[in-house]
Amino acid sequence: MDERTRAEVERAEAALVEHYPRLVRLAYLVLPPSMGRHRKVLTAHGLVQRALPWRVPRRPVGALPAQRGSDAGSGYDLVRQRTLELALAYEDRQRPAVLLPTVPFVWGLRLFPRAGGADELALDQALSAVPAAVRAALGLWHLEGLEAEAARAVLARAGVPDPDMALRAAGQLDRRTGAGAGALLNSGEFDPCTVQARPTDLLRRRQRVRATGVLAAVLVVGALAMALPGGRPAGGSALTAAQQALDPGRLLRVPNEQWARTARVDFTAWPARGRQAGDRQLLARALGVWAAPPAGTRIVAAADTSTRPPAAPPRLLYAGLIDNVMVVVFHDGERLVRYAEPQDATPTLHFARVDNADLASAGGLVIGRGNGWQRYLIAPWVAEVGVRDLLAPDAPSHGLHLAPDGVTDRIPTPPVDGAPCGHWPVAEFRSSPRIDDRRSFLMTDLGDLAPVHLTSVPPAAAGGGPGEATGAPALHSWARTACALRSLRGTGVRSVTNWAYARQELPEGGGTATWVCNRADTWRGSGRAMVQFQPPAAGPADPGRIAGRAVGTAACSPFGRHVLADVHWQAKSGKWYLLAAGSGELAKVDVSGGVRAAAQAPVLAVPAARNTTAQVAGRLRDGRSLPAMLP
């Protein structure tokens, strides 16, 4: 390494020391919220401390670090770039050993930043619902003070595939934060250098120490027994639970007709299928990679899904060749695990949460995926599968061929974010009459192993549970909403429901508008809601306008039946109006600010200039207030 490189590294080291709190705060923001605050604090410190290049020339004994000069900023840029790359890699599940900080290490204590107020909590919830690249973009703006072009360049160098999308999403999140994201991100809530300490669970710690001692004793005794002449574990009793989980002979296998004789119709009723279901060598390789992924293994996990090894023998669902890729699928009661073994390539593990699945959400899984296509493995209780385009609600579905092992022909995948949304293919499943539940239901792919169940709630059923989205009114509602599903890709969504909660006659004979709340529920329980204003359209697939969004909310679910939103709308005459509409229990709508008006009804229309700032709120029949959902 030449002197110029040595000087650059020394400047980077000086910058790291000087700006250490700033770098750790940025790493803490970008790391996945699912890690928990204690682990995020330690990991953020560990990543920054490892942000220097690995091969650093040793300074002579007694030498001083290089002094900061006019070009010291380049040293900071180096460590900031490296910090960002390491933090982003955690969300991508790319975790080679270099990404696992060994320091700092804390035993017996839990560390976490000081708790903030309601604004900090709301921002933290909003940040947990967006990808790491969006959090990085927000940090580069508010923590680093970079302009959009500079932030775009940093994101691109860090390997973010679509920096422009990340910046747009960060801007939207910033606008939705009424208190100002910049001030909140610089508060104690997001400061991993000023932390509080509490003890861990003392009783659980004592139990773990005892369990570790017992396990160590068992291993020692087992090793001694095996070392003796003729030593063997008696009847396999010395095998640990982990060893049993890796034995292909212990895999759980459900009888072929079990699904027709049980009241629990979910993944636990799937039989083992596929031509290689009896290939012990393949099954052993799949279990071994799951337990200890070798270097280079690609690991993909849905949001907040654990990638831990099997704790007990899992259930085998499938083993076979899919498009020249050997595929094995397991179910451990909580997760689906798909092992893919391409020819002459490293394997892939794909994890998805499916706890509390039901007849529809356990109706299929993505068994294979390629460039613009996918295949489903369907449940044994699905009698027919068709394909329809959500953007063509009046077109019939087309039947899809099924192989004897339950694998479908290729199905086009929906467009990704940023691509033209000219079609939205979905699979329509029809259940078997043998389970006395003959119904059709729609499933769509949003990038995870488990497809997403699409449902609908008509206005007359306000407050009730969702129904299937296969009728004509539901299909026409989804035609105008489908393209908004792209924003949910890869977020661990279980189901999405459209609820047409209000209809409104527009001023100046503008026709009838529909207000639709689109709610996405995840496997982990959290949800997000989006309100669309849908005026009369030229075509059935013309998208509506987004009038409001909320994350970490019960809005538009059976536990959050009340909703209110507003938009500015222009009549054919050129005149602008402020429109508002709420659900059926709303008795009054009030408008204040730049416009003052009231209506003793769930809907309101008042003349207002396009840029008029107004605050809309409602009053429910029981007297409670209901603020409008913010855009």
Could you tell me which residues come within 8 angstroms of residue 19 by beta carbon, excluding any fewer than 6 positions away?
76, 79
Q: Which of 280, 433, 266, 451 is nearest to 377 (CA)?
A: 451
Token reading at 177: 């934060």
Q: What pLDDT is attached to residue 125?
A: 76
- What lies within 8 Å, CB to CB, of 261 at 6+ separation is none
pLDDT at 177: 65
Rounded to an integer, the average pLDDT of 433-450 is: 89
Looking up tokens 């509080």, which residue turns up? Answer: 196
Residue 66: the pLDDT is 37
Confidence check: pLDDT of 103 > 80: no
Residue-wise pLDDT tens digits, 365-389: 999 999 899 999 999 999 999 999 9
User: pLDDT exceeding 70 applies to what percent of the chain?
Assistant: 83
> Residue 341's CB: how many other CB atoms inside 10 A?
17
Tell the residue number behind the tokens 């409104």, with chain if given.
504
What percent of the chain lies above the pLDDT cut of 90? Answer: 51
Please give the mean pLDDT across all residues of the chain.
83
Say if pTM beats, i.e. exceeds, 0.75.
no
CA distance 72 to 17: 12
Instruction: Report pLDDT digits (tens) over 490-528.
Output: 889 999 999 999 999 999 999 999 999 999 999 988 899
What tokens were used for 358?
A: 């039901």
Confidence of residue 55 (pLDDT cuts 50, 70, 90): very low
Extract the tokens encoding 413: 């995948």
Helices marked H in 509-589 — which ranges?
Answer: none
265-284 pLDDT, tens digit per residue, is 999 999 999 999 999 999 99
Question: Please, which pLDDT band fits residue 332 given cuts at 50, 70 and 90?
Answer: very high
pLDDT in tens, 160-195: 988 888 888 888 887 776 556 777 787 777 888 877
Q: Give the lowest-confidence range in 232-236, 322-326, 435-439, 617-621.
A: 232-236
3-class DSSP state of 518:
strand
Convert the pLDDT of each residue in 123-150 to its tens digit: 777 787 788 898 999 889 888 888 888 8
d(CA 359, CA 319): 22
User: Is residue 465 very low, low, confident or very high in pLDDT (cuts 50, 70, 90)?
Assistant: low
b/e per residue, 128-145, with b = 16+ CB within 10 A?
A: bbbbbbbbbbbbbbbbbe
pLDDT digits (tens, 9 = 90+) for 552-568: 889 998 888 899 999 99
Nearest alpha-carbon partner for 556 in 579, 584, 534, 580: 584
For residue 363, pLDDT beyond 90 = yes
Judge whether residue 95 has pLDDT over 60. Answer: no
Would strands 325-331 and 315-322 be described as parallel, antiparallel, or unpaired? Answer: antiparallel
Binned at pLDDT 50, 70 and 90, residue 202 comes out as low
Which one, of 118, 110, 95, 101, lies nearest residue 50 by Cα? 101
Secondary structure of residue 387 in the 3-state scheme: strand
Among 504, 469, 267, 429, residue whose Cα is nearest residue 362: 267
Residue 593, pLDDT score? 92
